């Protein structure tokens, strides 16, 4: 069963494209235009997964991922980082992202990462073994 995905990106065209693609396969979406707004949205209404851009004004995506991973109320939300730079992949995973998808993304790759992320959330923790 698809869930709710929080999309965080300062590019309106990318937000719209991802939102349409996810809606077509049954996901509900919410959007935020920067890292701080994404954190606030995740705290107020925890999504099943977050798709986060790296390069945004103010609090960037890597900073937002690190912040979300440090908070007890958001640390279990799976995060997929989108970036045009493969150089961001290691930094994104180090910050706590679960998946990395390169822009321009292939729709099937992004949807597969989201499905895997939502699946991560539904698997109970094994007493700290992750």
Q: What is the CATH number of the domain that holds 112?
A: 3.40.50.2300
Instruction: Give residue 107's pLDDT.
Output: 80
Q: Is 61 domain-assigned?
A: yes
Strand order in the sheet with 4-8: 28-32, 4-8, 49-53, 79-83, 99-102
Cα 119 to Cα 2, 58, 90: the distances in Å are 10, 31, 22
In a domain, 23, yes or no: yes
Residue range(s) defining the domain that contains residue 77:
4-122
pTM listed for this prediction = 0.89
Q: How many domains does the chain have?
A: 1
At 15-29, the pLDDT tens digits run 999 999 999 999 999
Q: By the 8 A CB rule, do 33 and 11 touch?
A: no
Does the pLDDT value for residue 126 go beyond 60? Answer: no
Q: Which of 102, 75, 106, 105 is nearest to 88 (CA)?
A: 102
Query: Could you give the CA distance from residue 17 to residue 21 in angstroms, rounded to a whole number?
Result: 6
Say if residue 121's pLDDT is above 80: no
* Cis preceding-peptide flag for 104 (omega within 30 of 0): yes
> Is the residue at 127 inside a domain?
no
Tokens standing for residue 32: 């935020």
Q: Classify residue 127 by its DSSP letter.
A: T
Which of 103 and 51 is assigned the larger pLDDT? 51
């Amino acid at each position: 069963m698809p869930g709710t995905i929080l999309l965080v990106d300062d590019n309106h065209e990318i937000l719209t494209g991802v939102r349409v693609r996810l809606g077509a396969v049954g996901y509900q979406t919410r959007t935020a235009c920067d890292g701080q707004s994404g954190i606030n949205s995740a705290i107020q209404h925890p999504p099943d997964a977050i798709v986060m851009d790296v390069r945004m004004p103010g609090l960037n995506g890597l900073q937002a991922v690190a912040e979300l991973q440090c908070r007890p109320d958001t640390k279990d939300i799976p995060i997929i980082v989108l970036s045009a730079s493969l150089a961001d992949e290691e930094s994104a995973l180090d910050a706590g992202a679960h998946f990395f998808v390169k822009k321009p993304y292939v729709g099937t790759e992004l949807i597969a990462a989201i499905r895997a992320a939502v699946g991560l959330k539904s698997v109970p923790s094994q007493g700290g073994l992750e």
